[in-house]
Chain A
Amino acid sequence: MNETVTVNWYVALGALLFAIGAIGVLVRRNTIIVFMCIELMLNSANLVFVAFARQFGDINGQIFVFFVMTVAAAEVAVGLALIVAIFRSKNSISIDEISLLKG
């Protein structure tokens, strides 16, 4: 029991990483870094998925990781295109500058 790392530790690690990502989303003003923090949060969720898949010997948890990764990839593609478009029109990527729906 003491020899192995239980799933609790992975849940705790995932929780810490998720909270760090949430802090980053709240603290940082650079839109690209906010996006990276969202990636970190998605990754911590993936880690917990895989940990529980291992815990219960069930492969479905690993399947879900694929869907989360797909959503992350689509989100990054659209988000970075939006950032580039906003930068071209406003010459800034600070999220405080992006306060208008109509550019």
Chain B
Amino acid sequence: MGPVVLFAILATIAIVAALGMVFSRNAIHSALYLVLNLGTIAVFYLILNAPFIAMVQVAVYAGAIMVLFLFVIMLLGAERVGREAPEPWQRPLAISLGIALAATLIFSFFADPQAASTVTTMDASPAALGIALFERYVFPFEVTSVLLLTAMIGVVVLRSRKENRGG
């Protein structure tokens, strides 16, 4: 009973937090709901034998990305956008399409749980992850560094261009 009850509680929190993020009026509240959702997903990672990813999730998402979001929201004073959903048909259409998407994706829920009961133990320690990352995935790892560098240069270019126009 234990794992199932834990899963049910955490899944409920995650889904309620996601819904609260989508449907709250205030952008700050949305960001805080998203933090809650990311925290529950981090707990899921712990349950799923991925402790290092759980820590990275907390540090990178809740620690860095969400702080950046909150910072930008407060910097712009953009807690509320004036008009929401100007077309009246837009919201029901979006929600029905979303439910159709969920139904399509959940269809895989009824797939045959092949070897579902075989609990395979794997070494998911940070050391094992590092060895996999630097042996088999060295090239994607380097491409990732280029991606981050490109993003950094892009942000700097965006800001400096604004400075020139403004002054």
Contact = CB atoms under 8 A, between A and B. Distances in A.
Contact of B21 (A15, A37, A73, A93): A37
A70 B81 CA distance: 29
Contact of B41 (A28, A47, A87): A47
Contact of A23 (B30, B50, B95, B109): B95
B96 to A, nearest CB: 10
Contacts, number: 245
A50 B82 CA distance: 39
Nearest to A52: B48
A36 B37 CA distance: 11
A28 B56 contact: no
Contacts of B105: 11, 14-15, 18-19
A77 B81 contact: no
Interface in B20-79: 21-22, 27, 30-31, 34, 37-38, 41, 44-45, 48-50, 52-53, 56-57, 60-61, 64-65, 68-69, 72-73, 75-76, 78
Contacts of A56: 120
A36 B106 contact: no
B84 A50 contact: no
Interface residues of A, number: 76
Contact of A67 (B7, B69, B144, B161): B144
Contact of B15 (A5, A8, A20, A30): A20
B167 interface: no
Interface of B: 1, 3-4, 7, 11, 14-15, 18-19, 21-22, 27, 30-31, 34, 37-38, 41, 44-45, 48-50, 52-53, 56-57, 60-61, 64-65, 68-69, 72-73, 75-76, 78, 80-86, 90-91, 93-95, 97-99, 101-102, 105-106, 108-111, 113, 115-117, 119-124, 128-129, 132-133, 136-137, 140, 144, 147-148, 150-152, 154-155, 158-159, 161-162, 166
Interface of A: 1-24, 26-30, 32-33, 35-37, 39-40, 43, 46-47, 50-51, 53-60, 62-63, 65-67, 69-78, 80-85, 87-88, 92-94, 96
